[in-house]
């Protein structure tokens, strides 16, 4: 992919190749310290195995939209965004006690096999998973700084890493702090923005633009496009979490109900619910033993109150806002076309 033609599958293969080689080598070095570390090294590889590679794509097109050509070194730098995501996923699954991701056992579940017949198996597996996530974040920084881009370019992008980490962790903390409390749409949308929207779209774009030497107006345009689009991405994820097909999403539908998480879908339902519906929701949410019948009951309330359709409208409005901002940007036509396509692929998806 060395021309202006965009082939998403080709780009994904390039990013996958970078990640599988880099993480594979690092996992080997890690396991070489002691054979007992082999299962942990396996989870490093597993964390980089799957993904749509949207974050890498936004970083890449943040670079290209600033007028820079295709670059293998830039693809390596962009791939580091996927390791940030991998770290966030391991930590998020641990915080939420999610059993599945992409149809496979999550790290803290898979690592129990390495600890069988030992005391505190569950707690120890969770501790190992936490450390896997920590190492993945460290590897993200390593891949970025060893990408092959000139040092002067990297210096332009490096300060944004502190912002990315601060905002991502703030979003995770806000989700924990609001979990189990009375749903509030403003609080839920702030979680959406900081936990996902910024590091999924805005920050990768800004990092790509900074590496390319983009100016202030371009950066402002990237934020105007990236923030609403990132929010739309997470709102779609929230809908899929309850209404999606687990065989396609690779995640359990009951997670948000059992965890009583502060999703925008739940908060919007609560906002319009009467007292009878709120009483029923209180009885259903946060039960660790919640079965499919409880999930079905929550879905029924949401559908009856029109929550699904209103959240769909929220997604549509944010995509339109993002595209309006994109149209105001003075970027090459091929880049504008791809960013338009990415906006749709990020928000119209079955998983």
3 part of a folded domain: no
Is it the case that residue 134 has pLDDT exceeding 70? yes
Is it the case that residue 239 has pLDDT exceeding 70? yes
What is the band of 230 on the pLDDT scale with cuts at 50, 70, 90?
very high
Please classify residue 250 by burial: count the beta carbons closer than 10 Å to its beta carbon, then call 0-12 exposed, 13-18 middle and 19+ buried. middle
Share of the chain above pLDDT 90, in %: 84
Domain that includes residue 207, residue range: 8-347
Is it the case that residue 164 has pLDDT exceeding 50? yes
pTM of the model: 0.94
For 122-131, the pLDDT digits (tens) are 999 999 999 9
Which CA distances in Å does 165 have to 154, 159, 268, 282, 336?
Answer: 17, 11, 28, 34, 28
Residues in the chain: 351
What is the band of 189 on the pLDDT scale with cuts at 50, 70, 90?
very high
Summarize the confidence of residues 179-207 as an average pLDDT: 96
Structure token pair of residue 283: 């009885």
How far from the centroid of its chain's Cα atoms is residue 47's Cα? 13
Domains: count for the chain: 1
1 part of a folded domain: no
Share of the chain above pLDDT 70, in %: 98
288 vs 287: which has the higher pLDDT: 287
2 part of a folded domain: no
How far is Cα 320 from Cα 325, in angstroms, rounded to an integer?
9
Which CA distances in Å does 208 have to 18, 49, 82, 340?
Answer: 17, 23, 14, 17
Helix ranges restricted to H, 6-117? 8-32, 38-47, 54-64, 72-96, 107-110
- Average pLDDT of the chain to the nearest whole number: 94
For 75-121, the pLDDT digits (tens) are 999 999 999 999 999 999 999 899 988 889 999 999 999 898 888 99
Which has the minimum average pLDDT: 30-39, 200-209, 234-243, 290-299? 290-299
Instruction: Identify the CATH number of the domain in which residue 285 sits.
Output: 1.10.600.10
Strands 104-105 and 100-101 turn out to be antiparallel
What is the band of 310 on the pLDDT scale with cuts at 50, 70, 90?
very high
What is the band of 2 on the pLDDT scale with cuts at 50, 70, 90?
very low
Place of tokens 């501790």: 127
13 part of a folded domain: yes
Summarize the confidence of residues 33-57 as an average pLDDT: 96
How far is Cα 104 from Cα 122, in angstroms, rounded to an integer?
18
What is the band of 4 on the pLDDT scale with cuts at 50, 70, 90?
low
């Amino acid at each position: 992919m060395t021309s202006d033609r965009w082939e998403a599958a080709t780009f994904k293969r390039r990013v996958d190749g970078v990640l599988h080689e880099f993480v594979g080598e690092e996992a080997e070095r890690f396991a070489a310290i002691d054979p007992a570390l082999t299962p942990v090294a396996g989870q490093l590889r597993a964390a980089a195995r799957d993904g749509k590679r949207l974050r890498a794509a936004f970083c890449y097109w943040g670079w290209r939209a600033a007028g820079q050509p295709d670059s293998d070194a830039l693809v390596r730098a962009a791939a580091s965004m996927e390791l940030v995501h991998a770290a966030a996923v391991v930590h998020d699954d641990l915080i939420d006690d999610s059993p599945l991701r992409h149809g496979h056992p999550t790290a803290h579940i898979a690592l129990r096999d390495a600890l069988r017949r030992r005391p505190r198996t569950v707690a120890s597996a969770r501790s190992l998973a936490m450390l896997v996530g920590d190492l993945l974040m460290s590897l993200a920084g390593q891949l970025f700084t060893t990408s092959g881009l000139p040092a002067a370019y990297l210096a332009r992008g490096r300060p944004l890493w502190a912002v990315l980490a601060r905002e991502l962790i703030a979003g995770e903390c806000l989700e924990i702090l609001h979990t189990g409390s009375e749903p509030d749409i403003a609080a839920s949308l702030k979680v959406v923005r900081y936990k996902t929207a910024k590091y999924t779209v805005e920050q990768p774009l800004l990092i790509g633009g900074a590496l390319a030497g983009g100016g202030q107006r371009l950066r402002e345009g990237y934020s105007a496009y990236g923030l609403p689009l990132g929010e739309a991405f997470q709102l779609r994820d929230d809908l899929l979490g309850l209404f999606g097909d687990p065989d396609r999403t690779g995640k359990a539908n009951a997670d948000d109900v059992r965890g009583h998480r502060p999703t925008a879908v739940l908060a919007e339902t609560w906002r319009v619910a009467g007292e009878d519906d709120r009483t029923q929701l209180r009885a259903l949410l946060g039960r660790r033993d919640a079965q499919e019948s409880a999930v079905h009951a929550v879905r029924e309330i949401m559908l009856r109150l029109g929550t699904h359709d209103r959240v769909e409208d929220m997604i549509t409005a944010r995509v339109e806002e993002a595209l309006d901002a994109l149209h105001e940007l003075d970027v090459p036509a091929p880049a504008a076309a791809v960013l338009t396509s990415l906006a749709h692929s990020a928000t119209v998806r079955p998983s």
